[in-house]
Amino acid sequence: MHEMSIAEGIRGVIEDAAKANSFSRVTTLRLEIGRFAGVEKHALEFAFDVVMRGSPAEGAELQIIDIPGKALCYDCAETVEIEHRLDPCPNCGGGKLLAQGGEEMRIKDMEVL
């Protein structure tokens, strides 16, 4: 379950930010996760709760913002939103697509005290 290591990385970012910016508690953390990032959201939520114990983010609300998958269609030259990497173009039905977004994962922001 790589979601546990993701949560550990998030904890490190939070602890570094708490030291650098002199805050003691995170109340809300917003993550942007792309559709193709390969992250199981329920597993990440569980891992977040476990890993944040004893940290400034213990008890913080985790809000996950879904980022759609996007691809450039070489057949119609449009950037389109797709559900799965191997989906055809929803505009023209073409199969020559290059993924352009949906793999990202980042902390958007956090509310702190």
- Is 57 annotated for ligand binding? no
- Is 76 annotated for ligand binding? yes
> CA–CA separation, 113 vs 110, rounded Å?
10
Residues facing residue 88 across a β-bridge: none
> CA–CA separation, 63 vs 46, rounded Å?
13
Residue with tokens 């508690």: 25
- Is 63 annotated for ligand binding? no
Q: What is the pLDDT along the chain (113 residues), one digit of tens a residue?
A: 699 999 999 999 999 999 999 999 999 999 999 999 999 999 999 999 999 999 999 999 999 999 999 999 999 999 999 999 999 999 999 999 999 999 999 999 999 99
- Is 23 annotated for ligand binding? no
> CA–CA separation, 113 vs 107, rounded Å?
17
- Is 40 annotated for ligand binding? no
